[in-house]
Structure 1
């Protein structure tokens, strides 16, 4: 492995051990304590638009669906409102793993929900030009065999790509993270699917691979992804890393995965996204259970830095 990826992993581990205490603020010399978004805020997605950050998280069966928060420093967050004032007509619940994306004045929300007709989870898309007014739903975007969840969307060489977890519920199919090209307006899947990584049933990610967050630095794309059991008192969620020179791969998993594991302060960390500050610092907003009250409070929004 090249020095950069080793440096990222070592720094990530150091920051993770310190989050229960004090860590440097993203845009100042002050310090902060985690969680930065308290309460049940699983699977957070975060973006930066100019100097403002926006985050959205899983709401499951709670309403209204998908809470939105905003911040100027990644630490102090204010509630904006829900993504949906009225639930999408094709859905019945399980509002999981939202993915925020922004382009040319429009905010996109790629989200997982359970379909009414067959109770299977698939991926929809909604848009707005004003986050305070909620999103307009455009319906089902991606139906993949038995189920598809956990989107992440990225621009690559002027094209937009969607990635997702293929659930592995189909006989003979493994759990894997797939990708495909989207249309220019981001509302249709146009490209043929391709495999990014497959879960190693004999490795650390025995519960699968999901919650991917992809970012580019230098010549490589890097991906943080989560594995094992995400939720509840018996969870053992952890975070791994992989890299590739192109989005289509081949992707190389880091030999010493996982790179982030739980401790006494924060348990079962994982499933977040990476955002870059104006001064080029890389932060990972993810969820974890507080080690004291554990499952009662839910998976809270935790901030860690990659260097």
Structure 2
């Protein structure tokens, strides 16, 4: 839909995805004091103000304004990739979690989790700590979660190169307790690893990080996001190769924050959010946020434009059904503006 048509539709009380037509991968939306702040991956790029992670602001989840960049480039990170920012507010400080890797540090470091802080939701954020995971050379997609007792945890994705217990080599999901907002306890537990055909990322994939070993199949589970519902913990994630029609969002569930988690029912493909042939490709790497009136839960995710040159910002309602959580979408026709 053209910009003028999109504006007219919003004035009439509807929106059509994407709600932001520029490049905006791995979207995370923070709601703070009635305003929405969206943070998106920039990779090796920089915003016009020389910062990292594109920042958008909105009052209704539909009309977004570009607000520059969020993270001040840390020293010694020239040429590095920066992926998947998430922000939480705790005791007067905003904490941004993300991964950094690639560039000159790729061969020895891989990707590592970091945290930056700011006193304002829009930043600028300054990197303050490395959240090291010595057991993995590739750790990405950090998701901080505060449980009902106030304890903070960090969910993230990391590589597993073994095939023990029937699991597939590839990127899987883990959780660890945070001793404070910038330090992991080092007691990680596996949340979920790949075991289904649909999550394959690439076949016969050679991995330089692991001595150029070639894996017959490399699988991917990424982008964890946790919600507590009905007394259970749901860890949502995106699976498969983000370039393919198989990519989408599924979940696993547990009675305790540290697990064990079960993905029973996930064998046939993503149940929460998936591609629609001819209309939506690669929907995923999402976050959850409540509507302005606080009554309706929305998924915020990216999906490819038709030319597959940009991953764009989209939103759709989440429904908690008898069969589990399901997105009311992905939609590509006019929808009511969030109340």
Which band: TM-score by shorter chain? Answer: 0.7 to 0.9
Matched, 1:71 2:58: yes
Q: Any gaps of 5 or more consecutive residues in structure 1?
A: 1-20
User: Do the aligned partners of residues 209 and 77 (structure 1) sit closer, same or farther apart at CA in structure 2, a change above 3 Å counting?
Assistant: same
Go from structure 1 to structure 2 and tell me whether the alpha carbon gap of 1:175 and 1:41 turns closer, same or farther (over 3 Å shift). Answer: same
Aligned mates of 1:218, 1:41 — CA distance in 2: 32
Higher radius of gyration, 1 or 2: 2
TM-score where L is the length of structure 1: 0.82
1:168 aligned partner:
160
Q: Deviations over 1:104-145 (max 9, x none)?
A: 331111011116442511111000012444011113222342
In structure 1, what is the equivalent of residue 274 of structure 2? 261
What's the counterpart of residue 15 of structure 1? none
1:174 and 1:270 map into 2 onto residues whose CA distance is: 18
Once superposed, what is the RMSD of the aligned Cα atoms? Answer: 2.5
The answer to whether the 8 Å contact 1:240/1:254 transfers is no
C-alpha distance in structure 2 between counterparts of 1:136 and 1:33, whole Å = 35
1:276 corresponding residue in structure 2: 290
- Distance, in Å, in 2 between the alignment partners of 1:245 and 1:87 is 39
Distance 1:171 1:242 in 2: 20
| CA–CA separation in structure 1 for the residues paired with 2:130 and 2:143 | 16
Question: Paired residues, what number?
Answer: 276
User: 1:60 Cα shift?
Assistant: 0.7
Query: Of 189, 194, 198, which aligns to 1:194?
Result: 189
The residue aligned with 2:141 is: 150
> Any stretches of 5+ residues in structure 2 without a counterpart?
1-5, 202-219, 320-339
| C-alpha contact (below 8 Å) 1:241/1:254 kept by paired residues | no
Superposition pairs for residues 198-213 of structure 1, below 5 Å?
198-200=193-195, 202-207=196-201, 208-213=220-225
Please give the TM-score of this superposition, normalised by the length of structure 2: 0.75
Distance 1:171 1:146 in 2: 17
Q: Which residue of 2 aligns with 1:46?
A: 29
CA contact (8 A) 1:146 1:170 kept: no
Query: Structure 2: how far apart are the matches of 1:198 and 1:150?
Result: 15
Q: How far does the alpha carbon of each residue in 1:66-103 deviate from its partner, in whole angstroms, 9 at most, with x for none?
A: 01112111111122221223334356411111111112
Instruction: Decide which moves more: 111-120 or 32-41.
Output: 111-120
> What residue in structure 2 maps to residue 183 of structure 1?
179
Q: Which moved more, 1:53-62 or 1:113-122?
A: 113-122
| Partners of 1:146 and 1:169 in 2: CA distance | 11
1:204 aligned counterpart, secondary structure:
helix
Residues 88, 280 of structure 1: alpha-carbon distance in 2 compared, 3 angstrom cutoff = farther
Query: In 2, Cα distance between the equivalents of 1:254 and 1:85?
Result: 42
